[in-house]
A and B are shown apart, each in its own frame.
Chain A
C-alpha cells in the first residue's frame, strides 16, 4: 500500500503540495501524546493524531514517519505547515475521527 492510494481512497486533504505518493505504508499508529509516539510507534508508520503543534513534525522526523493525518477536521498551525514542508513530512487532513480513518486503513492494509 502506498501513500497516494491511501490519500485518494480516504479522500484526504493535503495542506500543501507534496510528492510522496509512492511512499510505502506498512503500519499505522494513533496517539495524541507525542511522548507515546516517540516511545511506542513503529518506525515508518503513518500517524493519525489530533495534535497540530509544530512538534508533531519533529516527532515524525525522529521516527521516520512519512505522513501525518490530522483527524476530526483539525487544522495545522501555520508554522507546523512550514516545518512539515521543509522537512518533507506529508501533512494530510480528514473530517472523520480517528476510529473511522483507522477502520478504513486497517481494511486496506489487512485485506481478507
Chain B
C-alpha cells in the first residue's frame, strides 16, 4: 500500500471518495491528496484511533489542520511502553515517487490513553465525525470490548465490516439503538480496496455533507452496497 497505488486502485474501480485512515496516524493525508488531485478522487483526512478501552474509532476530518490537531493529541497519548520492541522500520511514510520520506517510530499499533467519550469529544471539537469501526468484529470493536454501546454515546455512525451481508444483519447487532450504519472496506491490502462501499447522496464530497447525510437532512441519503 503506497499513496500512488492506493489512488491508482481507487480510481481504477471508480471510487469518488476514500479516507486514508492509518492506525493512530495521518501522515499520508497530504501526499495522497496531492496525487489524487489530478483525478476526480477526494481523499478525506482520517485516522482509525484506538481508545483506552481498545475500541477502534474511525475519525474523519474536513481539513488536514483539524486532523493534525487530533493527531498531535493521539501521538501524545500512545502508550510507549519501553519494553515494547517493535520494528522501527515497519512504518514508512512514502511520497509520490514511492520513496521513503521517514519512518514513523511510534508504536502505532498500541492503544492510546484517551477514553472513548473523551475521544469522541476531541473529534467533534475539531469538526470531525466519529464512527465506531467494525462493530461486528471480535477485535477492537465497541461491542466486543464494551459489551454494548453505552446509552447516549454521541457517535455519528456505526460501521460494519464487509463480512456483514445485509441491512438486517447489521441492525441485528444493535437492535435497540438506531445509529446510522455505514460499511467500508477497512483495506489493509490493495486488493481489499472497494470490497465494500457506502454511497452518500450529497451535494459535495465533504465531511460536513457526510454528516448531513448521516443525519438524513433534506434529500440526503446513505446507502450501503451490501
Contact status A38-B115, CB under 8 Å: no
User: What separation, in Å, do the CA atoms of A54 and B52 have in the docked complex?
Assistant: 13
**Distance to closest chain A CB from B55 (angstroms):** 9
In the complex, how many residues of chain B place their beta carbon closer than 8 angstroms to a beta carbon of chain A? 13
In the complex, how many residues of chain A place their beta carbon closer than 8 angstroms to a beta carbon of chain B? 15
Binds A, one of B25-33, B73-81, B139-147, B184-192: B139-147
Contact status B144-A53, CB under 8 Å: no
Binary contact readout B126-166 vs A (1 if CB under 8 angstroms, 0 otherwise): 00000000000010000111111010000000000000000
Q: A34 to chain B: which residues have CB within 8 Å?
A: 145-148
Q: A51-B53, A53-B53, A55-B150 are in contact. Are A77 and B144 (CB under 8 A)?
A: no
A108 on the interface (CB 8 Å rule)? Answer: no
User: What separation, in Å, do the CA atoms of A58 and B147 have in the docked complex?
Assistant: 9
A33 on the interface (CB 8 Å rule)? Answer: yes
User: What separation, in Å, do the CA atoms of A33 and B141 have in the docked complex?
Assistant: 10
Contact status A54-B150, CB under 8 Å: yes
User: What separation, in Å, do the CA atoms of A81 and B6 have in the docked complex?
Assistant: 46
Choose from B54, B115, B147 the contact partner of A77 (Cβ within 8 Å): B115
Q: B146 to chain A: which residues have CB within 8 Å?
A: 34-35, 51, 53, 55
User: What separation, in Å, do the CA atoms of A34 and B53 have in the docked complex?
Assistant: 10
| Residues of A1-51 contacting chain B, CB below 8 A | 32-38, 51
User: What separation, in Å, do the CA atoms of A34 and B149 have in the docked complex?
Assistant: 11
Most buried by B among A53, A54, A77: A53
Contact status A35-B115, CB under 8 Å: no
Chain A residue at minimum C-beta to C-beta distance from B115 = A77
Contact status A35-B150, CB under 8 Å: no
Chain A residue at minimum C-beta to C-beta distance from B148 = A55
Most buried by B among A32, A38, A55: A55
User: What separation, in Å, do the CA atoms of A36 and B147 have in the docked complex?
Assistant: 8
CB pairs A–B below 8 angstroms (6 shown): A35-B143, A35-B145, A35-B147, A51-B145, A53-B53, A55-B146
Q: Which residues of chain B have a CB within 8 Å of any CB of chain A?
A: 52-54, 115-116, 138, 143-148, 150
* 7 closest A-B pairs by CB: A34-B147, A55-B146, A35-B144, A34-B146, A35-B147, A53-B53, A38-B147
